[in-house]
Homo-oligomer: A and B are copies of this chain.
């Protein structure tokens, strides 16, 4: 019920049809016109028009070479040209920079990880991010012009204008137009987003919560924050601050910066390790910790009624120490005949970069397909395997 003229809406239909054909080719492989007609339910002339538009944009290639068997005129086969464009998902955190580069078809063509301290200077840090993205492009042998979009996950609150508002990690980026500067350097739009939200989205789209529309993701590291995906959509909140659980939300001892206080050890990981080794102090502290987390998990579960709760961060591998007790607590205290399941992250440290990548696909959709709400492609490795590692060793936080 918008106010646009009809001309717009009608041509929106054309765009939608074109996009439908493009997505079919992207997600189900090359196809002849006849097959597309069949698959999309559109008519032949419409499909032909769509293909000719797409071919003009370079997004599909139509070649005759097809090992067709059987009688009949050989079909003209259209193929989605993923390499027409690339998008990057970037995770800039204290531990370093991660970049995942994928083409429009979802083939992951580079995945790099630069460990170690980032430059302390705001500008130098921007340059480091640029260098990391460029390095990924170089590794994948992708001309820089082909990069269509880069999306960056950082810790902190991102304002509507895309600048950081509050960030403990990179305080000197607050108010700075990091995205704009990188856009100028890279020649394509670059946007920032909150890291935990991206990780949540990644787990929902690619990780532990695939096929589930409602989930809460908890990232437990030195702090605890959450990300919500509700009805398949990332919840941002009216200040883009949903999930920023402060001091008072978590029933776990925190210091004044919101970091979890450990007495028996210097980190959650260490405390859990000691508890596993039988250290009594650590065991008690871990138990209190788990109860505190369970508390918050339960309140949010009851308020939000998700299908699934995913725990990320270094502790997510601690099944019997964390995930199992949480599951029990949630199932036990449920006053209703159902309870959400608690599960460990599947993407591990890569979740933020994958989330950024998946948002990058969303954000380039309008310019690539002329339509938004385009589902991202399935991610594949160059060798054809699943781009998401089987639950392996990518959990070194």
Contacts and interface: CB of A to CB of B under 8 A. Distances in A.
Contacts of A338: 239, 241
Interface string A162-203: 000110000000000000000000000000000000000000
Interface residues of A, number: 65
The 6 tightest CB contacts between A and B, nearest first, are A237-B305, A246-B335, A242-B305, A241-B305, A248-B333, A249-B299
A214 B179 CA distance: 28
B307 A238 contact: yes
Contacts of A303: 226, 228, 242-243, 245, 249, 300, 303-304
Interface stretch (A4-12, A85-93, A261-269): A4-12
Given A1-B374, A237-B305, 14 more contacts: A1-B23, A10-B13, A166-B337, A214-B238, A228-B303, A237-B306, A239-B305, A242-B305, A243-B302, A243-B305, A244-B302, A246-B333, A249-B298, A296-B299
A373 B1 contact: yes
Contacts of A239: 305, 336, 338
Contacts of A371: 1
A20 interface: yes
Nearest to A257: B335
Contact of A246 (B42, B248, B334, B374): B334
A179 B154 CA distance: 49
A302 B237 CA distance: 9
Nearest to A307: B238
Nearest to A236: B305
Contacts of A214: 237-238
Interface of A: 1, 3-6, 9-10, 13, 16-17, 19-20, 23, 40-43, 46, 157, 165-166, 213-214, 226, 228, 230-231, 233, 235-249, 258, 295-296, 298-300, 302-307, 333-338, 371, 373-375
B13 A242 contact: no
Given A41-B3, A299-B299, A305 B238 contact: yes
Contacts of A373: 1
B13 A305 contact: no
B244 A305 contact: yes
Given A3-B41, A19-B1, A230 B235 contact: yes
B249 A336 contact: no
B41 A5 contact: yes
Contacts of A41: 3-5
A14 to B, nearest CB: 10
A244 B300 CA distance: 10
Contact of A258 (B1, B258, B335): B335
B336 A248 contact: no
A210 to B, nearest CB: 15
A42 B244 contact: no
A304 B249 contact: no
A336 B306 contact: no
